[in-house]
Chains A and B, each alone.
Chain A
Amino acid sequence: MPVDIDIAKVAKLARLALSDEELAAYSTQLENILENAERVQALPTDGVEPTSHPLPMVNAFRDDVVEECLDRDSFLPSAPDTQDGQFRVPRILGE
């Protein structure tokens, strides 16, 4: 499968504001790295189950009970901007 990267789209999906020069440089590097992945793609894997987790584990359940959690005053001061005990962000919608 030929490597064909719409790097501007990928950067937008990743929420990375990169310049055209940066995008071009990363695009070349990604193509080189993905060429190495061709060996992996060529391996016959019909009928092979994917592994998402190295050990056979099932869901870890716990009782659904109210517990103490972090005090808001312990982490809000390290936020870039807050107001009335909440995180503050710029406007959500564009012009």
Chain B
Amino acid sequence: MTDLADLTIAEAGHGLRKGDFTSVDLLDAVDRRAAVTEAHLHAFLTMDHDGARAAAEAADAALAAGNDLGPLHGIPVALKDNMCTIGVDTTASSQILAGWKPPYDATVTARLKDAGAVIVGKTNLDEFAMGSSTENSAFGTTRNPWNTDTVPGGSSGGSAAAVAVGSAFGAFGSDTGGSIRQPAALTGTVGVKPTYGLVSRYGLIAFASSLDQIGPFARTVDDAAVLLEAVAGWDRRDATSINGPVPDLRGGLEEGVAGLRVGIVTELSGDGIDPQVLAATKGIADKLSDAGAEVIEVSVPASEFALSAYYLIAPAECSANLARFDGVRYGHRTTVEGTTEDMMSHSRAEGFGPEVIRRILLGTYALSAGYYDAFYGQAQKVRTLVRNDFAAAYERADVLISPTSPTTAFKVGERAADPIAMYYSDVCTVASNLSGDPAMSVPIGLDSGGLPIGFQVMAPALGEEMMFRVAAEVERLAGFEDRASLATSDVVVPS
């Protein structure tokens, strides 16, 4: 008999409405899965057992009364711990926010509740979403369910691991430079960074405001579309959210790719990419061609400079955003005596971890008098070049493709001591954040070590319908059905 924790959201929704099982049954199934896997993974920082149980019971009662709230009704999902949940700990994996319970819900949280979803808990991340491995969490590293010696990617590694292993049917993360797509690639899940402004950032603890975007993790492309639909759309509380129609995310899922122009990005498909990842990517490109797409090579020259520009812009914005953590209104306050400024400086130094301090210092320097034009100003001009080059590429291609991550999952500790090596993990993903365009990762296979490989589909701003259409075809062509060895509710010894 199928373990309910292994169902897709579509299958679970179907069974709920047929009366085969209840939302409480689904919650029990993911709880059992988490009870077995969490000791090996540490995907969650907080599990809201009471809140989830009450939400599942309410979902069952509503459905029984004929009040169907849509495809997420009664479905257990998880949230990255940088999204505010009223009354439930929200830490951004930082000591400076340990124990903080938000007095309000993020818009994403509120919309999920309105859609009848059951929020099971808060997932681990690199502190303030700064990292590519989830090793920077102040509360312990999350492991990859495919091989617990390796990282799940980051910064949304907890959400990725939870979905990969079946301790949630779907999850949300945030993507500033690849923090949804890269962990999706490393854990064999689907991960989406929508167009900047498609999903409200209200209640998302800000890292880099002009780059941050919330998006879903799921086990299928269709499930990812359902999750994104539930939270997308204008929000008066986020002045940068797009006040316009939401793209039809599911309209093209069955359309195929015949006649579409698919561009392989030259700069992201050569040097620095693992040969097995490259071969798998090219293999899918060939299949897209066989399926009727016109596959061409497209150059996005400025993308080569995207990573360097990103590591000036993101720290600059983070240094401003994280100024609010000062020991006054919430969070950690030092016991060191002195003036208010001393209190702030010691509270911050005690509360932030090393990567966060490194980026605050870098950003403060890049914004400081005499250096602003040379660093931040120049990076913003490079950002314009990236946008222009993407615009030119989309004249020739409907979508762009590349690997999601230059390598499959790397070992815990392997890049932790070398910030620059870690930063390179984002080389294929940052350009989409700079341009604001949507991009997503779809699992396409395993490398020789049995670790998942992710395939990136990129589209122009608000081109989600086309992006999901191509991603759905990639999913069909890849036929990726493997599950992580830890994705079981039986007690196992991980590899």
| A26 adjacent to B239 (CB under 8 Å) | no
Residue of A nearest to B323 (CB): A15
| A45 adjacent to B385 (CB under 8 Å) | yes
| B340 adjacent to A75 (CB under 8 Å) | no
Complex Cα–Cα for A11 and B349 (A) = 10
**List of A residues within 8 angstroms of B242 by Cβ:** 55, 57
| B360 adjacent to A16 (CB under 8 Å) | yes
- Select B368's contact among A10, A26, A32, A53, beta carbons within 8 Å: A10
Q: Give the contacts of B326-362 with A (CB-CB under 8 A).
A: 326-333, 336-346, 348-349, 352, 357-358, 360-362
- If A16-B357, A43-B305 touch, does A90 touch B380 (CB 8 Å cutoff)? no
| B375 adjacent to A52 (CB under 8 Å) | no
Check: B449 CB closer than 8 A to any chain A CB. no
| B385 adjacent to A48 (CB under 8 Å) | yes
| B361 adjacent to A30 (CB under 8 Å) | yes
Complex Cα–Cα for A80 and B100 (A) = 11
Complex Cα–Cα for A89 and B333 (A) = 10
- If A10-B368, A29-B419, A55-B242 touch, does A50 touch B358 (CB 8 Å cutoff)? no
- If A18-B357, A89-B328 touch, does A54 touch B368 (CB 8 Å cutoff)? no
**List of A residues within 8 angstroms of B434 by Cβ:** 51, 54
**Interface residues in B, total, Cβ within 8 A:** 70
Residue of B nearest to A74 (CB): B103
Check: B153 CB closer than 8 A to any chain A CB. no
- Select A15's contact among B329, B332, B333, B344, beta carbons within 8 Å: B344
Check: B384 CB closer than 8 A to any chain A CB. yes
Binds A, one of B22-30, B52-60, B129-137, B308-316: B308-316
Residue of A nearest to B243 (CB): A60
A80 CB to nearest B CB, Å = 4
**List of B residues within 8 angstroms of A93 by Cβ:** 339
Check: B364 CB closer than 8 A to any chain A CB. yes
Check: B116 CB closer than 8 A to any chain A CB. no
**List of A residues within 8 angstroms of B387 by Cβ:** 51, 54
B309 CB to nearest A CB, Å = 5
Question: Which of B100, B360, B461 is packed against the most chain A CB atoms within 10 Å?
Answer: B360
Complex Cα–Cα for A43 and B333 (A) = 44
Complex Cα–Cα for A34 and B374 (A) = 11
| Pairs across A and B, CB under 8 Å, 26 listed | A10-B368, A14-B364, A15-B323, A17-B342, A17-B348, A26-B358, A29-B358, A32-B419, A32-B420, A37-B311, A39-B305, A40-B308, A43-B305, A43-B385, A51-B387, A53-B210, A53-B436, A54-B434, A59-B239, A60-B240, A60-B243, A74-B104, A79-B328, A89-B340, A90-B339, A91-B339
Interface residues of B (CB under 8 A from A): 100-101, 103-104, 195-197, 210, 236, 239-240, 242-243, 305, 308-309, 311-312, 319, 323, 326-333, 336-346, 348-349, 352, 357-358, 360-362, 364-365, 368, 374-375, 377-385, 387, 419-420, 423, 434-437, 461
The 3 closest A-B pairs by CB, nearest first: A54-B436, A50-B380, A80-B333
Interface residues of A (CB under 8 A from B): 1, 5, 7, 10-18, 26, 29-30, 32-34, 36-37, 39-41, 43, 45, 48-55, 57, 59-60, 62, 70-71, 74-75, 78-81, 87, 89-94
